[in-house]
């Protein structure tokens, strides 16, 4: 399970979505659906311009125009 959160520049963290995908394709899906309003999953790229890997393995991030960041990370089992 991948958790997508919106990290605001004022320190707020908002849960945005949960996907049953790995972090990279989950963040791509979220960006394409929520920001670009594209629900045709067959057309999704492997990476959206502006996405970058985190320092922790398998975390991905995307800077939003409002100064925030979308973050994707694996949910811990348990």
Comparing C-alpha atoms, which of 34, 27, 73 is closest to residue 50?
Answer: 27
Return phi, psi of residue 21, to 5°. Answer: -125, 165
Asked if 22 and 2 touch (Cβ cutoff 8 Å), the reply is: yes
User: In sequence order, what are the residues at sequence separation of 6 or more whose Cβ sits closer than 8 angstroms to the Cβ of residue 78?
Assistant: none
What domain range is 30 assigned to?
A: 2-74
Looking at residue 66, its pLDDT comes to 83
Looking at residue 54, its pLDDT comes to 94
Instruction: For 10-65, write each residue's pLDDT tens digit.
Output: 999 999 999 999 999 999 999 999 999 999 999 999 999 999 999 988 999 999 98
Cα separation of 73 and 53, whole Å?
10
The total of structural domains in the chain comes to: 1
């Amino acid at each position: 399970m991948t958790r997508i959160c919106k990290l605001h520049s004022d320190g707020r963290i908002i849960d945005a979505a949960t996907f049953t995908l790995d972090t990279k394709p989950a963040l791509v899906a979220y960006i394409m659906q929520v920001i670009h309003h594209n629900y045709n999953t067959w057309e999704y790229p492997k990476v959206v311009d502006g996405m970058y890997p985190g320092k922790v393995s398998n975390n991905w991030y995307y800077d939003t125009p409002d100064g925030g960041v979308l973050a994707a990370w694996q949910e811990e089992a348990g």
